């Protein structure tokens, strides 16, 4: 099988979260094509499980889909930070709980057709009350649900965020729930 080869990558727009590129690719048949590529620094998310077995979720407005979304806490990796520490930081920032025990669950690429965004998904059952520390443009509501309720929300279309769907179903399977 012939290989694909990137001949050129041109930065179209450098954003705060993503960079948009045009890639000129040589295809296996020798032809060339222009493909869109979105570069992303990576992200992490965490499933926070309270002492009653409920998962702490955040509801926030998402501009891209023009509606509120029910999600697990998540955010982009800061310079010098790894996925695990990012997940712990986002937990505290968004929910007001911290943890000293973060367990890896899965990693996933969000949209492999045009982006390299990779999200590390973690979970914790060791929640320590702390202080919420939202970004100045971040407004979230904290909600708590059982795994069963969240799975039903997925199949009812209430939860439609890919990382959250993947995380909840992976957590349910791993824990044998």
pLDDT interval class at 52 (50, 70, 90) = very high
CATH number of 41-174: 3.90.79.10
HSE-CB of 158 using CA atoms within 13 angstroms? 10
Residue spans per domain, the chain:
5-39, 41-174
| C-alpha 120: how far from chain center | 7
pLDDT of residue 1: 56
Neighbours of 150 (CB within 10 A): 24
* Matching residue, tokens 């955040």: 58
Give me the catalytic one of 94, 103, 136, 143. 136
Give the per-residue pLDDT at 138: 82
Give residue 135's pLDDT band: very low, low, confident or very high (50, 70, 90). Answer: confident
Could you confirm whether 90 is annotated as catalytic? no
Model pLDDT for residues 74-87, shown as the tens digit of each residue: 999 999 999 999 99
Mean pLDDT, the chain, integer:
95
pLDDT in tens, 152-175: 999 999 999 999 999 999 999 999
């Amino acid at each position: 099988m012939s290989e694909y080869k990137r001949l050129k990558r041109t930065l179209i727009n450098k954003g705060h979260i993503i960079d948009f590129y045009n890639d000129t690719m040589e295809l296996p048949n020798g032809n060339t094509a222009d493909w869109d590529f979105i570069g992303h620094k990576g992200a992490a998310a965490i499933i926070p499980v309270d002492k009653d077995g409920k998962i702490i979720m955040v509801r926030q407005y998402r501009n891209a889909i023009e509606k509120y979304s029910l999600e697990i806490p998540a955010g982009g990796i800061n310079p010098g930070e790894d996925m695990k520490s990012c997940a712990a930081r986002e937990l505290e920032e968004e929910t007001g709980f911290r943890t000293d025990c973060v367990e890896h669950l899965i990693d996933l690429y969000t949209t492999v057709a045009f982006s390299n965004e990779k999200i590390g998904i973690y979970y914790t059952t060791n929640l320590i009350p702390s202080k919420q520390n939202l970004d100045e443009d971040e407004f979230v509501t904290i909600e708590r649900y059982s795994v069963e309720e969240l799975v039903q929300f997925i199949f009812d279309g209430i939860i439609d965020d890919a990382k959250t769907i993947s995380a909840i179903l992976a957590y349910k399977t791993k824990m044998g729930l």
